[in-house]
Amino acid sequence: MGVDVAKLLSGKALPETSTESVQPNELVRKLMAREAPAEILPFPRNGIDGKALFDYRMRVLTQFELDACTVDAERYTRKQFLDKKTPGDEDLGAVKGEAWTEVFSNSKVVEVLQRACTQPEMKKNDSGIGYYPPLFQGCQQIRKLLTSDELGSLGDAYLNVQFKFGKLFRLMSADEVDEVVNQLEKGIDSYPLSHLEPGQLIVLVCSLAARNRALRIDTGSSGGPAESGTDETLIKMDGE
């Protein structure tokens, strides 16, 4: 059956909409034999039992899809401002300030989530081709059902999944970890963590965990103090 997001989040089931099956281009299907990386995650809203209402599937979008997200977010933002204009208002080009930036940024997150969040179970269309139905019926449903915190949480989840499966992921070297730790030891005035991107924070935490693991393994095997630094076997680029 799949997850009825509207029913679970608002208690009101929306009418089902039938969409025509889109046949994938045969050449593209052969070139992309492997489906996009994805991960099953708990939805960031709990039920009365304290557990996530349901699980969903977050997949990594292609650059083509991300470009479409940007275009559609710009279109939505422009429409929002056009709808609020009255005769005599200044030109749209002059109002692209803080409000425009905020509406556009939020809209782009919504566009990404509309494409990236799917039902966890695969279905098959009339031609027997497997696909994952979208979790949300449209961007407006996302805007109406989700709080800003939930939207931010899902946006962070997409970045984490994208980063996790990216080819550039690697743990920090021992020297890089030492540098960040030294900055932290200087005191909170330096705020070194605030300058790191979300992906870099993940790398830092994973690298510290790897160092801790290496220290525990070394201590347990030798019975003496462990050598400083991260196990170099854990520091490598993905695919090396």
| Consecutive H or E run containing 124 | strand 123-124
Q: Enumerate residue ranges in the chain where pLDDT < 70.
A: 1, 10-35, 85-96, 167-172, 187-200, 219-240
Burial of 43 (C-beta count, 10 Å sphere; 0-12/13-18/19+): buried
Residue recorded with tokens 């803080």: 98
Q: Residue 147's beta-bridge partner residues?
A: none
Q: What is the reported pTM?
A: 0.63
Cα–Cα distance, 180 to 199 (Å, whole number):
15
- Tell me which amino acid residue 59 is: R
pLDDT computed for residue 220 by the predictor: 62
Q: Could you tell me if 209 and 202 are in contact, meaning their C-beta atoms sit under 8 angstroms apart?
A: no
C-alpha distance across the termini of the chain, in Å? 41
| 11 backbone dihedrals φ, ψ, rounded to 5° | 80, 0
Gap between the Cα atoms of 25 and 30, Å rounded: 9
Pairing verdict, β 123-124 and 130-131: antiparallel
Task: Check: CB of residue 176 under 8 Å from CB of residue 207.
Answer: yes
Structure tokens at 202: 């993940």
* 3-state class (DSSP) for residue 120: coil
Q: Long-range contacts made by residues 79-83, C-beta under 8 angstroms, separation at least 24?
A: none
Predicted local confidence at residue 236, as pLDDT: 37
Q: What pLDDT sits at residue 101?
A: 87
Q: What's the confidence (pLDDT) of residue 8?
A: 75
Structural contact between residues 78 and 47, judged by C-beta atoms closer than 8 angstroms: no
Q: 193 and 201 in contact (C-beta within 8 Å)?
A: yes
Question: What ranges do the domains of the chain cover?
Answer: 5-164, 174-234
**What secondary structure letter does DSSP report for 167?**
T
Beta bridge partners of 55: 42
pLDDT of residue 207: 74
Give the pLDDT of residue 27: 56
Q: Whole-angstrom Cα distance, residue 233 to residue 52? A: 36
Tokens of 86: 């009255």
Residue among 199, 206, 200, 208 nearest 178 (CA): 208
**What pLDDT is recorded for position 231?**
44
pLDDT value at residue 37: 84
